Structure 1
Amino acid sequence: MTTTFSENCLINASAGTDGTELNLIDDGAHIRRSILPGGVRVITEHVPGLRSASLGMWFGVGSRDELAGHEGSTHFLEHLLFKGTPTRDAREIARAFDFIGGESNAATSKEHTSYYARVQGHDVPQALDIVTDMVTSSVLDPHEVATERGVIVAELAESADDPGDVAHEAFARAVFGTGTPLGRPVGGTPATVQAVSRDAIWEHYKQTYASDSLVVAVAGVVDHDAVCEQIARHVERAGWSVDPDQAPRARRSELLSATVPVVHDEFVARETEQAHLYVGCAGIPSGDERRWSMSMLTTILGGGMSSRLFQEIREKRGLAYSTYAFDVPYADSGAFGMYAGCAPKDVSAVYDLLVGEFERMAADGVDEEELARARGQLRGAMVLGSEDSLSRMGRLGRAEVITGRLRSMDYNLELLDAVTAEDIQQLAAFLASQPRCRVLVGPEAN
C-alpha cells in the first residue's frame, strides 16, 4: 500500500523493523524502505524527471567508535575499500566507474561513514555491483595498507599546513576535551596512522561492517525491488549474515546517554598573516527538537551576507573577509561556534564583536524582519538542495543512520515556519549560559 504524506505527517524511518515495508509519496517522489534478511536496510526515492541516480552505502560507525589501538582505522578503511576485492583490483574499480561516466567517493565523520556514487540511471545496477563488492568484500591487501599509510600521512600533513584546519581541530579539542572520541581528529594523527596495524584495521572492519549495520540509500532513477534483490545476492555471496530474524543494529542515539563536554581555551602559535579565531560552547544533539531553532539562530547570527556578524565585522568595520556562525550536532552532544579570520592586531576587537552580537541576541532576541529573512534563506536552501539526486540520497542515508526520522519536505517547512523569535532567544540564552571557549591560531604575539 502506498501512503501519501498528510499535511502534518511525521514518518518514522525506524518503522517496519519486523520486515514490513515503508511505502509513501513525498511531493511526487516515491520513497520505499525495506529490511532484508540479515538486517540490511534499503531505502530508495524514485524521482520522476531525473536521468541520473545517486547511491550510497552507509554505516553508523565513525572515528568516535574506534577502540584503543584502532585509532585512524575508520578513515583508513575509507581509502582501502577502493583498493581491491577478490574479483577487482584498485585499477579495475577505477576503470569501471570511468567506463560508465560515474563519480564515486567516500566520506568519514565522527559518527558515520558512507561510500557513494552518482551515475546515469541505467547504470545503477553496475554501480551497485561495484560499491557493494567494495564494501562487503574488501581484502585489505597488506601492500595497499602500506601504500595508503603514506598517502594518509601526507593527507594529514596537508591539513596540518592549513591554519584553518588546525583551528577547526583545536576547536573540537576545546569543546569536547583532548583525547576524547569527539575531541580527536577523524583521520587520526600521524602517530596513530603509523602505529595501527593491518590486523587492527581488519578487526575494526569485521566488527563494524556487517549486514545489520549496512544502510543502502538510492535516489533518482531507481527500481526499489531490483535494488533489494541485487543487494541480497551480494550480501549472501560475501558471506555476510542473511538471518531472516536479524534486526538492524541499534542506532547510536538509542545507545548513548548525554555527555557533558569539556570546554576550555586553546592557542596554537603559527607564523601566519591572518589569525583564525573560534569562539564557542557546547551545543545541542542531532535529535534535539530545537534543531530548526538552531538553524534559524546560526543563519541570523552568521549565515550569510545579511547576517549580524557579516554586517558588523566585515561590512561596517572591514575587520575580516570571512566570518560565520555554525553548529555541529552529534548523537549525544554538540558544539556551537562563531568564526572569524582577521589581522592579528584585530583579534581583541573581533572577539568582542563576536561575543557582543551573540550576547545581544541572547538578551534582546531577534526582530520579525530577521526572522522572515532567515526563514526565506533556509527555505531556499532546502528546496534547491532537493533538486539534486546526491542531496536526496544523503538525506535518506543520514535520516536512517542518525535519527531514524524521515520527514517530508512540506513537514520540514512547517517545522521551520513554526520557529518563533522567542524560541531563538531562549536557545541563544541557553547557549550563552554554557562555559565558553576561545581558540586562536596565529602569531604568538596574540
Structure 2
Amino acid sequence: MIAERVPAKKVFGLAIPALGVLCAEPLYVLVDTAVVGHLGALPLAGLALGGVVLSQISTQLTFLSYGTTSRTARLHGAGRRAEAVSEGVQATWLAIVVGLVLVLAGQLLAIPLAQALSGSDEIAAAAVSWLRIALCGAPLILVTMAGNGWMRGVQEAVRPLRYVLLGNGISAVLCPVLVYAAGWGLEGSAVANVVAQVISASLFLRALVAERVPLRPQPSVMRAQLSLGRDLVLRSLAFQACFVSAAAVAARTSTAAVGAHQIVLQLWTFLSLVLDSVAIAAQSLVGAALGGGAQRQAHGVATQITRYGLLLGCVLCAVFAAVSGVLPHAFTADPGVLGEIPHAWWFFVALQPIAGVVFALDGVLLGAGDAAFLRTATLASAAIGFLPLIWVSLALGWGLSGIWTGLSLFMLLRLAAVLVRWRSGRWAVVGAVR
C-alpha cells in the first residue's frame, strides 16, 4: 500500500494553535500562583492544594476533548459536518451534566478532601475557601474541553485558541484586581478563575448555536461517547497512579530529592504539551482520513506524524542536554537540590525522542478511535514497568535514579506497544463511525 502524505503546513496549522491552547492554562496558573504567592505562605498552600483537586477534573475527563475529536473527525472526513458538530452538542450536554454532579459532590466533599490531603487545619481551611468557589466553574471547564474537541475534529484550530486566550487573558488581568484592590484575597483568585471559564465556555456555546444543528440531547450518542470515555479515563488513571507513586517515593528519599524530582517533572510535563500538540494534529487528520475512506492517507499521516514527533524529540533532547549546566539554576539555588537533579536530568533528556514517537502514535491511534488498545497498553506498561520498579527503588534506596529508570521502562514498553500496533495496520478501520 502506497501511503499518502499531507502538506506539512496543514499538520503544523493544526499543531501550533493546539499548543497554544494546551499552554494557556498552565501559563494562567503561573500568573495566579504569582499573585497569590504575595499574600503569604498559607494562601499559597491553599491555592496549591485546591488547584490539585480542580486539575483532576480536566485530567480524568480528557475524553470530552480527545474522544470528541476522534468521533467528530471521522464524520467530518465523511463530509457529514452537521453530524460532526452534533457530536460536539452531545459532548457539551455530557459536560454540563457531569460538571453539575462534580459541583454538588465537591461542595459536599471539599472539607474532608482538603483535610485528607493537607494534614493541617489551616491549610485545609484555605483550600476549601478557594475550592468551593472555583468548583462552580467545573461545568464550564468541561464545556470548554468539549468545544475544543469538536472544533479540532472539524479542523478549526484557531478559534479555540482565541476563545481560551480571551478567557484566560481577561482573568489574568482581573486576578490581581480582585485579590489586592478589591481585598478579596485568596477568594478573589477563585472568582477570577471562574470568570475565565465563563468567558471561554460562553464562546464555545455560541459557536455551537451558530452551527444551526439540533441542540436536543441524544442518549444513544452520549452512551457511545461514554464508552470511549471509559477507556480514556482508565488510561488516565494509570498515568496518575504512576506519577503519584513517583512523588511519594521521592518524598521518602529526601527533601532535596523531592525538590529535584519536582523541577524535572515539571519540565517533562511542559515538553509533553509541546509533543502532544503534534499528536492532536494526528487525531484530527487520521480521523478525517479514515472517516472519508482514505486508508492510504491515514497510513501516510501516521508515518509523517511519527517522523515529526521523532525529529521534535531529538531537537528537544539536544537543547536540554546543552542547557543541563545552566537551566536547573533558574529553578533553585539550593545545593542539595542541584546535586540531585542530574540523577533525573539525563533520563529526562534521553527520553525526549522516545516520547516524541510515543505521543505521536498515541495521537494516531486516538484519531482512529483505538482507545481500547491504548488503555490496555498503558495499564500493562504501568503494571509491568513503572509501578514495580518505583517501589523496588524505594526498598533498595535507588532514589531518583530508580524513579526515572521506572519512567524510562514505562515509556519503552509503551513505545513497543504502539509501534507494533502501528505496523500491524489493524487500527486503520475506515468509516464515519467506529
Choose between structure 1 and 2: higher helix proportion.
2
Tell me if TM exceeds 0.5: no
| TM-score computed with the length of structure 1 as normaliser | 0.28
